[in-house]
Structure 1
Amino acid sequence: MSRILARFTIVLLGYAAATLAASAFLNLLALGALGLAPEETPFVVAGPMFVSVPVVALFIGYFAFFPSVVAILLGEIIGRRDWLLHAIAGGCISAVVVWLFWYASMPQSEFDGLELELHLIFAVIGSGMVGGIAYWLVAGRSAGIWREDSISPGPSGS
């Protein structure tokens, strides 16, 4: 039981790291879109990034929670530990969030004439991939380890 509780804690820490990494990536993309001169950048980054990254991470964690639970459970059951699977899963989770937030939640009358720009969709999918890699760094490298036997086989021939 303690192995499962420890794994659950690591998964929660991995999810927190994933949301913070995705938020930082989105904030860096937004900073790059501002077109600031290199000498202006430290003044813009210094204060607001310490506030905006955690706040945006809270929104990311809220909207991506249920698709992430499905992906995390699937990863734990399958026990795959490669970074590419987690990056693709993060991209798929963010694509599901974009679809749920923009397309499925709006009434058709409000949706007419509203087009979500393609670079925004790709930015969100890219941030999901960065979040998936951050999750892999914290928790994904040991996915499914709670199922392995803790008793190692004895010496052969005895």
Structure 2
Amino acid sequence: MITITNLTARIFVILTGYFLAVSAAVGSLGFINVIFINPSMGGNNILGLLGIALISVFYSYVTWPYTILPALLIVALGEVFSRRDKLFYILAAITMNLFLYAAYSDAGNQGDSIIAILAKILFSGFIGGLTYWMIAGRWTNIPSQREYNNTL
């Protein structure tokens, strides 16, 4: 039986997982830009990496309106079908990144190669999906001890 307290706690965990996953995905984009694609941006010192971390937290609040609906669909599918595996959330986040890139990017004005763009999409989707799984996805629809004892 689902109580209001359990439902409220689950919604809080889901929202926390979502916001931290978006922050981690955006941070991973900054990390991959600085370290691998454009090292002259300041990735060779600790202050540059701390700046990326701080900017990614603020930038994640800018990007959440674009990601909230696809993420809610992924979370709802995970909750309904009791998906607790990493692969589901990682592949769903990568797929979401591909669709969001196709929908909201202006590919004609970017100077990146297709390999760099795919690396960004795959890496940030992997980090975002893994972060959500670590915070909220592992405990999707796990029955409580009381519910487990009632089934025996």
Give the shorter-chain TM-score range.
0.7 to 0.9
Q: Does 1:143 align with 2:140?
A: yes
Instruction: Specify whether residues 150 and 60 from structure 1 end up closer, same or farther in structure 2 by C-alpha distance, changes over 3 A only.
Output: farther
C-alpha contact (below 8 Å) 2:42/2:48 kept by paired residues: no
Task: Name 2:131's counterpart in structure 1.
Answer: 134
1:20-35 alignment, distance < 5 Å? 20-32=23-35, 33-35=37-39
> Displacement of 1:41 after TM fit?
2.0
- After TM superposition, give the deviation of residue 37 of structure 1 in Å: 10
Taking only aligned residues, the RMSD between alpha carbons, in angstroms, comes to 2.9
Structure whose residues are more often helix by fraction: 2
* Partner SS, residue 105 of structure 2: helix
Structure 1 spans left out of the alignment, 5+ residues: 104-110
**Secondary structure of the structure 1 residue equivalent to 2:57:** helix
Match of 1:153 among 142, 149, 152: 149
Provide the C-alpha distance between the structure 2 equivalents of 1:52 and 1:130, rounded to a whole number of angstroms. 17
Cα 1:72–1:152 change in 2 (3 A) is closer
Secondary structure at the aligned position of 2:8 is classed as helix
**Which residue of structure 2 aligns with residue 69 of structure 1?**
72
Checking the alignment, whether the CA contact within 8 Å between 2:93 and 2:125 is kept in structure 1 is yes
**TM-score normalised by L of structure 1:** 0.78
* Alpha-carbon distance between aligned partners in 1 of 2:25 and 2:131, rounded to the nearest angstrom: 8
1:1-158 aligned within 5 A: 1-32=4-35, 33-36=37-40, 40-46=44-50, 48-102=51-105, 114=108, 117-118=113-114, 119-145=116-142, 150-153=146-149
Specify whether residues 121 and 115 from structure 1 end up closer, same or farther in structure 2 by C-alpha distance, changes over 3 A only. Answer: farther
Q: Matched residues in 2 for 1:143 and 1:29: separation?
A: 30
Work out whether residues 67 and 96 of structure 1, in 8 Å CA contact, stay in contact via their aligned partners in 2.
Answer: no
| Structure of higher RCO (CA pairs closer than 8 Å, 6+ residues apart) | 1
**Equivalent residue pairs, number:** 145
TM-score by length of 2: 0.80
> Which 4+ runs in 1 deviate beyond 4 A?
36-40
Flag structure 2 segments of 5+ consecutive residues without an equivalent.
none
State whether residues 31 and 52 of structure 2, in contact with CA within 8 Å, keep that contact through their aligned partners in structure 1.
no
What is the Cα deviation at residue 5 of structure 1?
1.0
- Between the aligned residues of both structures, percent identity stands at 19
